[in-house]
Amino acid sequence: MKRRKSELRDEARQALADAVNNRLSAERKERRSLPVIDQRLAAMTDFNTLPGMQEIGVQRAFGAVVGISNPFFRLHETRAGATTIIEGRTYDNYSSYDYLGLNGHPDVHAAAVRAIEQYGTSCSASRLVAGERPLHRELEAALAAHYRQEACVVFVSGHATNVSSIGALLGPKDLIVHDSLAHNSIVMGGALSRAERRLFPHNDLDALDELLTPIRHRYERVLIAVEGLYSMDGDFPDLERLVEMKRRHAAWLMVDDAHGLGVLGENGSGIFEHADVDPSDVDIWMGTLSKTLSGCGGYIAGPAVLAEYLKFAAGGFVFSVGMSPPLAAAAIAALDLMHREPERVARLHRNSQRFTDRARAADLDIGTSAARAVIPVVTHNSLIAVALGQKLFDRGINVQPIIPPAVPEKSARLRFFLTSEHTEAQIDRAIGAIVEARQEIGDGRSILMAAN
């Protein structure tokens, strides 16, 4: 009896499949039998060997021994403003960038809701390929007008704004000179650009001038990068002198005013208002939407040709999704509120000054803070900083310790962010609690003894 052709084809396919499986099985056995040539290299596949993991483990173990809980990644169960709720308990909160209390404001909330209803929650792809929403252009126009610039481009990440913009603007024949305390994003942007990178001592413009004078001629483009308000120390540079220097040295001046907007100047316009400098005299303004503007993302404001160039050349814009419509709408509403309600800025200034005055009266080291929202309490020892933060947390005050590698060991601190919504009673309570807890800790020997 003849066999059907279909049966023959099935047998052929099965034979082929068996042959393939046999070959794959043999290859797998051969790979398993290969000797590990270098055990050291094999060990490198363990994530525990990554730089810093051992230090993280030691820190966690030490905290457990001395009874200090992890102060990072605490879970907030409500909007974190002047107060917050953590594990069901209400805390006075000094770990929020919401300087003017606009996060959750009814106007900001309503603007975000309207944007969701009309545009949804996502742009789904890059604005370059998926198109824009009217809110993108409205936000960019509002920010450009604020800085008296021709144009603005908005990114979905503040960190990526600096990294990708600096990376796109400079090259191997160029130079970036930045303050020694400049944000990590500025440093990483310089590294990405492959430009030569130099730094000058914090806010030492004499040193900056001395650095540039003999070497400026070696480079094509030079970028001077500073911050408007330094987020670790709460101080600011001499903007008027920086403008003069950038002109004399034929350089671009970039000011990262992420923490200055809403904080510096009578109306909270930023470092340019505080310094009484025409903002159009600065080549590149950078800022973020996650602080005073109650959103998320960053922006560059400057000449129209700069904005156009970045929209086609900055990887953080070209290859990233467009800003979420509700976030753009929230930022627009927050910027409008800041302009309409300068009394919020006045309250922030009063609160910052009250905290500063009482801290100094209590002989607390607040470094070079200018009494504008960001006020450190320097402990000079990371163990004391963490222990002090724990004791304040136990007393119902949430504030973050800043320890190495974020700052040098001798600069360890607690970093307080003041807002317009903090009350006088909260501020006085915080200073009193710091003094009490600092006396309990002493020089930290009791903590070390507990670990032994």
Tens digits of residue pLDDT in 154-174: 999 999 999 999 999 999 999
Residue 180's alpha-carbon distances to 177, 198, 353, in angstroms, are: 9, 9, 27
Residues 6+ apart with CB under 8 A from 329: 111, 112, 114, 115, 135
Output DSSP code: residue 440. H
The answer to whether 376 and 402 are in contact (CB under 8 A) is yes
pLDDT in tens, 327-379: 999 999 999 999 999 999 999 999 999 999 999 999 999 999 999 999 999 99
The answer to whether 110 and 337 are in contact (CB under 8 A) is no
Residue of 255, 253, 336 whose CA lies nearest to 292: 336
Ranking 49-58, 118-127, 313-322, 398-407 by mean pLDDT, the lowest is 49-58
Query: Is residue 242 predicted with pLDDT exceeding 60?
Result: yes
Between 440 and 26, name the one with better pLDDT: 440
Between 119 and 405, name the one with better pLDDT: 119
Residues 6+ apart with CB under 8 A from 216: 175, 222, 249, 250, 251
Q: What is the rounded CA–CA span in Å between residue 111 and residue 335?
A: 12
pLDDT interval class at 50 (50, 70, 90) = confident
Residue type, 180: S
- Structural domains of the chain, ranges and CATH numbers in brackets: 53-93+342-451 (3.90.1150.10), 106-340 (3.40.640.10)
- Give the residue-averaged pLDDT of 200-206: 98
Query: Is residue 57 predicted with pLDDT exceeding 70?
Result: yes
Output DSSP code: residue 215. T
Percent of the chain with pLDDT over 70: 88
Q: Mean pLDDT across the chain, nearest whole number?
A: 91
Say what the pLDDT of residue 404 is: 85
Query: Is residue 95 predicted with pLDDT exceeding 60?
Result: yes
Backbone φ and ψ for 355, nearest 5 degrees, come out as: -60, -45
Say what the pLDDT of residue 418 is: 98
- Give the residue-averaged pLDDT of 263-288: 98
Q: What is the rounded CA–CA span in Å between residue 323 and residue 317?
A: 10
Could you give the count of Cα atoms lying within 13 Å of 386 in the half-sphere of its Cβ? Answer: 19
pLDDT in tens, 422-438: 999 999 999 999 999 99
Say what the pLDDT of residue 360 is: 97
Could you give the count of Cα atoms lying within 13 Å of 265 in the half-sphere of its Cβ? Answer: 23
Residue of 389, 396, 393, 398 whose CA lies nearest to 447: 389
Task: Give the pairing type, strands 83-86 and 151-155.
Answer: unpaired
Say what the pLDDT of residue 407 is: 87
ω into 404 cis (within 30 of 0): no
| H helix intervals, 121-251 | 127-130, 134-146, 158-169, 184-193, 205-212, 239-248
- Give the residue-averaged pLDDT of 112-127: 95
Q: What is the rounded CA–CA span in Å between residue 413 and residue 359?
A: 14
- Give the residue-averaged pLDDT of 405-420: 93
317 alpha carbon, distance to own chain's centre:
17
Residue of 375, 403, 409, 380 whose CA lies nearest to 63: 403
Between 107 and 28, name the one with better pLDDT: 107
- Give the residue-averaged pLDDT of 4-33: 61
Say what the pLDDT of residue 170 is: 98
The β-bridge partners of 376 are: 415
pLDDT interval class at 449 (50, 70, 90) = low
Query: Is residue 256 predicted with pLDDT exceeding 90?
Result: yes
Query: Is residue 21 predicted with pLDDT exceeding 90?
Result: no
Say what the pLDDT of residue 84 is: 97
